[in-house]
Amino acid sequence: MNHSKPSLLDIQLQVLGALMLRDIRTRFGRTIWGNAVVVLWPTAHVMVLVAMMSVRSMPAPIGESLVLFIFTGMAPMIVFIYLSRKMMEGVIMNRPLLSFPDVKFFDICLSRAIAEVLNLAASVAITMLILVAIGVDPIPERPATAISALCGAFLVALGIGFMNANIVVFFPPYNIGYALVIIILYGLSGVFFVPDGMPQELYQAFLWNPMTNAIMWFRSAYYPGYGEDASPLYVLMSGGLLLLVGLIWEKTLTKRAL
């Protein structure tokens, strides 16, 4: 019987599948309830913040629904926060596996990214179903724009995730310090307010933040005429550049350090 040698692609796919399965089993156990927690955790994150803002009875800066306004800010930010952080945590958890010849640093980052994208897609869908249940219509007027904006947020998160994964190899305490970065980004990205309502000089400074542009881009799918200053090209170029820097860093410095 002729046994052909597995191709590099076959080995790559097997490694990614094994890493994803290991992450699923180690993070919240082997039961279906544990996997449900992984998906529902970001949903709970969004809904708690929506509830906190709604209790304050603040008027919506745009449109008539404060809940919808918060959701349109949180959806891209949740994608960014969880993906960029979980890729870093994946390297911390799976670093011992790098002793196996077929497991590479890139495989660990990519497997965690794929797993998180699937989880986040489910989380956003569940959040939208919950909004429907409470009487809020979460369907955008321009679905293609909303999906494109989420993809842009994903690309920025992927780039930052690779950067974080490299940093934590050289400086492990950064894993804890990144929580402060997330808090700052909450305040500077326009999740709970509209940046264009600020003084012009400050507004222009906010536009240097790719996530501010991503959130405005996403909201433009819901609010016609809003987000004209947002630059989808800037979001994509920023994410692509961060990803390129992260990959070069991995090939030149991190690979040697490991």
Dist CA 164 CA 187 (whole Å): 20
Number of neighbouring beta carbons within 10 Å of residue 248: 13
Q: Name 168's Cβ contacts closer than 8 Å, sequence gap at least 6.
A: 88, 91, 92, 174, 175
Dist CA 179 CA 46 (whole Å): 17
For the record, the structure tokens of 179 come out as 């929580």
> Residue 35: its pLDDT value, please?
65
CB-count exposure of residue 246 (10 Å: 0-12, 13-18, 19+) = buried
pLDDT above 90 as % of the chain: 33
* 86-116 core/surface letters (b: 16 or more CB in 10 A; e: else): bbbbbbebbeebeeeeebbbbbbbbbbbebb
Taking the CA of residue 116 as centre, how many other CA atoms within 13 Å lie in the half-sphere pointing to its CB?
A: 25
Residue 4 has pLDDT above 80, yes or no: no
5-9, 75-79, 94-98, 163-167: segment of lowest average pLDDT: 5-9
Number of neighbouring beta carbons within 10 Å of residue 143: 10
Q: What pLDDT, in 10s, does the model give residues 42-54?
A: 788 778 877 777 7
Q: 89 vs 48, 49, 165, CA distance in Å? A: 24, 24, 8
**Segments of the chain assigned E as strands:** none
CA 78 to chain centre: 6
Domains of the chain by residue range? 8-257
Dist CA 124 CA 156 (whole Å): 18
Dist CA 83 CA 109 (whole Å): 10
> Is the whole model's pTM more than 0.95, yes or no?
no
30-44, 65-79, 108-122: segment of lowest average pLDDT: 30-44
For the record, the structure tokens of 226 come out as 């809003």
Sequence length of the chain is 258
Dist CA 153 CA 213 (whole Å): 9
Dist CA 258 CA 255 (whole Å): 5
> Residue 28: its pLDDT value, please?
61
Dist CA 258 CA 252 (whole Å): 11
Q: For all residues of the chain together, what is the average pLDDT?
A: 85
